[in-house]
Structure 1
């Protein structure tokens, strides 16, 4: 009985690290060494979640003069909510307060913008970084031999391809063929090979077909599937980075209202597999 329980604990730990990405130690030293060498070659420095949650910890002019939509490693330090449309850092995330005269609701409604992020102008680039970075630093993902496969209906896949390219690995987008042409035009410019854009049947609601394709791709050990629905890094990134950004906005608005406001509700239409 004791042996059976020990085996079960071991399987649970394996699932935590393998399926959920919750490894608490280096899984493959050689893979980590390959990542370090590739990052050094490409002059890539990985920002910490603490830095992305509080960009004041990042050198003020670190990405100065860098096109916010370019595949430049310095743009990793813009993968946070504290940007304006030009990619310049702001002290409070961009937002608007909708008055009751517009909404018909007595309480003011705060709307925080998710299009201030670099490269893809969508917050999903944060989700992608949050999933890939932990896998790299624990030696689970080896950019010298793995292809990073990003299944989604569009923006998470674009974010994954952007982060993969910057880190020097091959990124693959898997998305429905019926999604907007704008997304495919962007992907065509960012992928290293046209075959790295995998079109599955359907449109926005055809999620099953996306993962059917991923199940086939996973048979090749060189393909590493970053499933946003089970990568715990997705949750951690939003908890640490997005959560604090939302808090910063509320505190700012509350202060401007004499501290009289009480946070009553939160709603989100930004997806991220339910993590927000």
Structure 2
């Protein structure tokens, strides 16, 4: 089949896509969501929104201060309107297209394997068949029921491994088995080590926020971007911070991980309930020497807030007890998943830690919507029925009175410690060399990876003939 592939530039600026293709993609969003033309819907812009001067607006939400309890403005990029309901479809596509144009993978020959704890795997399940490949996802058995349903619905298969969110070692072991038994037909697209993941977020997510800053300056009286906060799963999303720091040198990049699995914070381990982050290792693509702080977030607090945001009683409490208008309360109920709430809590914690106030903007990401956590929240609601008083108490305790504990600043010593933790996974287990690891200490290594976007785009355009 003939597939048209978008460039990185077209994912950043969908208005620059050929108008005929753009119109086909907009129609297919609802009429034919499995059509490959939806690859051109991988972007951060609002779907079906009127364009201003031909430019569709960025899909974001300014969180009401009545909810956050801080004077700083917290801006949330919304990912639920990407083709799979999460921005992770972007890295899945970017990793695929980079390997495709290099000749490492061939349609009708290779089965693409996407090791994941959730959204990247779902993205791979969608992207692979759209590009003419068979897709297989390796996913821990403890992930939400909806994740497995989505993978099957997109035409991919899956293998369940032991454990839950933080059991990535078992996923890697399964990848090695598949490669050992099927070396000619299986190819691993590893979000944790493939720089296509990093490049998507550096170039597309990062520059989307850079361009949004001008609008935020006018709307909020902002002074650039004061901080970017992101939890780490593959540590792809946090790469947007690299771009932001180049444009706004005072911008702080704040990484987040679960209190229950504080890998970077305390060389810790454990299981947790924030699906999509906290994978118990430091990923190859994580630019840890560019992080200004690391904060740990309690998974129980994330589940409590998500319950308030998505439960009818909670939505009513937002309106009646916190003065949020009904339209905004409904919007909030549709855009957050568990890790998105984690990012929101992390942004509040960062605002307090750095003493940010009015005219300071922190940007974070709602990485998916509540649709893939229905079963999780049904079980939670059954255990902890929500009353108006409990909803009010949750917002007050978790958001308004969020503490500044569990934070480490990115000192030179801490950054080197975070870097050194890569050794155990990547050198001892995954075949990298010490020389390759140490090369990442040089900022030029990361600049060289960023600079590859232009050449990749030229090669993607050449595929169209």
Classify the TM-score, shorter chain. Answer: 0.7 to 0.9
Conservation of the 8 A alpha-carbon contact between 1:124 and 1:272: no
Conservation of the 8 A alpha-carbon contact between 1:81 and 1:245: yes
Gaps of 5+ in 2: 239-465
* TM-score, normalization by structure 2: 0.47
Cα distance in 2, alignment partners of residues 148 and 212 from structure 1: 16
The residue number in structure 1 matching 2:461 is: none
The residue number in structure 2 matching 1:94 is: 59
Q: What CA deviation, in whole Å up to 9, does each residue of 1:107-163 have, x standing for no partner?
A: 111111111101x10001001001000110111111221110000011101101111
Cα 1:155/1:88, change in 2 over 3 Å: farther
Cα 1:244/1:234, change in 2 over 3 Å: same
The residue number in structure 2 matching 1:121 is: 85
Cα distance in 2, alignment partners of residues 76 and 190 from structure 1: 14
- What stretches of structure 1 move > 4 A for 4+ residues in a row? 86-90
Cα 1:257/1:189, change in 2 over 3 Å: closer
Cα distance in 1, alignment partners of residues 189 and 49 from structure 2: 27
Q: With CA pairs under 8 Å and 6+ residues apart, which has the higher RCO, 1 or 2?
A: 1
The answer as to 2:193 corresponding to 1:234 is: no
* TM-score, normalization by structure 1: 0.77
Cα distance in 2, alignment partners of residues 52 and 61 from structure 1: 15
Structure 1 residue 188: deviation in Å? 2.0
Q: What CA deviation, in whole Å up to 9, does each residue of 1:70-90 have, x standing for no partner?
A: 210110000111133x69877
The residue number in structure 1 matching 2:387 is: none
Match of 1:166 among 130, 137, 141: 130
Cα distance in 1, alignment partners of residues 71 and 235 from structure 2: 31
Cα distance in 2, alignment partners of residues 107 and 154 from structure 1: 32
Cα distance in 1, alignment partners of residues 16 and 200 from structure 2: 17
Structure 1 residue 274: deviation in Å? 4.2
Structure 1 residue 261: deviation in Å? 2.4
The number of equivalent residue pairs is 229
1:63-82 matched pairs, under 5 angstroms: 63-68=25-30, 70-82=33-45
The answer as to 2:209 corresponding to 1:246 is: yes
Cα 1:65/1:153, change in 2 over 3 Å: same
The residue number in structure 2 matching 1:208 is: 169
The answer as to 2:142 corresponding to 1:178 is: yes
The residue number in structure 2 matching 1:7 is: none
The residue number in structure 2 matching 1:190 is: 154
Q: Secondary structure at the match of 1:65?
A: helix
The residue number in structure 1 matching 2:426 is: none
* Most deviating of 182-191 and 212-221: 182-191
1:10-29 matched pairs, under 5 angstroms: none
Cα 1:230/1:241, change in 2 over 3 Å: same
Cα 1:184/1:247, change in 2 over 3 Å: same
Cα distance in 2, alignment partners of residues 92 and 237 from structure 1: 19
Conservation of the 8 A alpha-carbon contact between 1:126 and 1:237: yes
The residue number in structure 2 matching 1:11 is: none
Structure 1 residue 64: deviation in Å? 3.4
Q: Secondary structure at the match of 1:112?
A: strand
The residue number in structure 2 matching 1:266 is: 228
Cα distance in 1, alignment partners of residues 237 and 43 from structure 2: 16
Conservation of the 8 A alpha-carbon contact between 1:148 and 1:226: yes
Cα distance in 1, alignment partners of residues 138 and 49 from structure 2: 28
Cα distance in 2, alignment partners of residues 139 and 251 from structure 1: 40
Gaps of 5+ in 1: 1-41
Cα distance in 2, alignment partners of residues 107 and 205 from structure 1: 32
The answer as to 2:102 corresponding to 1:143 is: no
Give the RMSD, CA atoms, in angstroms.
2.0
Larger radius of gyration: 2
Q: Secondary structure at the match of 2:229?
A: coil
